[in-house]
Amino acid sequence: MISRRKWIAGIPAAGSLLLTACKDSLPPTYGSLFDASNALTFAAHRFLLRNQPLVREFGRERITKNFPAINETNPKSDRYQQLLAGGFAEWRLPIEGLVAKPTELSLATLKSFPSRTQVTQHNCEQGWSAIAEWTGVPLGRVLQEVGMLPQARYVVFHTVDGWWDSLDMFDALHPQTLLAYGMNGRELPVAHGAPVRLRVERQLGYKSLKYVSRIDVTDRLDDVEDGTGAVGAAYGYSWYAGI
Partner 1 sequence: MRHTILVRTTHWINFLSFLALAVSGVAILIAHPRFYWGESGYFDTPAAFEFPLTVNLDQTGWGRSLHFLAAWIAVLNGFIYVVWGLFSRHFRYKDYGVLQRLAYLSVVFGLLPLMILTGLTLSPAVTAAYPVLFTMFGGRQSARTIHFFAADLLVLFLIGHVILTIRSGLVNTMIRAEAK
d(CA 88, CA 161): 16
d(CA 204, CA 207): 6
Residue 119, CB half-sphere, CA atoms under 13 Å: how many? 10
Give 5 or 101: the residue with its C-beta nearer to partner 1. 5
List residues near partner 1 by CB under 8 A: 1, 4, 7-8, 11, 33-38, 40-41, 45, 48-49, 53-56, 62, 64-68, 121, 123-131, 201-204, 232, 235-238, 242-243
Specify the length of the chain in residues: 243
Give 166 or 238: the residue with its C-beta nearer to partner 1. 238
Give 166 or 203: the residue with its C-beta nearer to partner 1. 203
d(CA 151, CA 138): 21
Strand partners, 116: 136
Give 68 or 94: the residue with its C-beta nearer to partner 1. 68
d(CA 127, CA 147): 38
Give 29 or 213: the residue with its C-beta nearer to partner 1. 29
Nearest 10 degrees: CA dihedral of 61, 125, 195, 161?
160
**Least spacing, CB of residue 37 vs partner 1, in Å:** 4
Radius of gyration (C-alpha) of the chain in whole angstroms: 19
Note whether 201 and 120 are within 8 A (CB).
Answer: yes
**Least spacing, CB of residue 90 vs partner 1, in Å:** 34
**Least spacing, CB of residue 233 vs partner 1, in Å:** 9
**Least spacing, CB of residue 152 vs partner 1, in Å:** 23
**Least spacing, CB of residue 130 vs partner 1, in Å:** 5
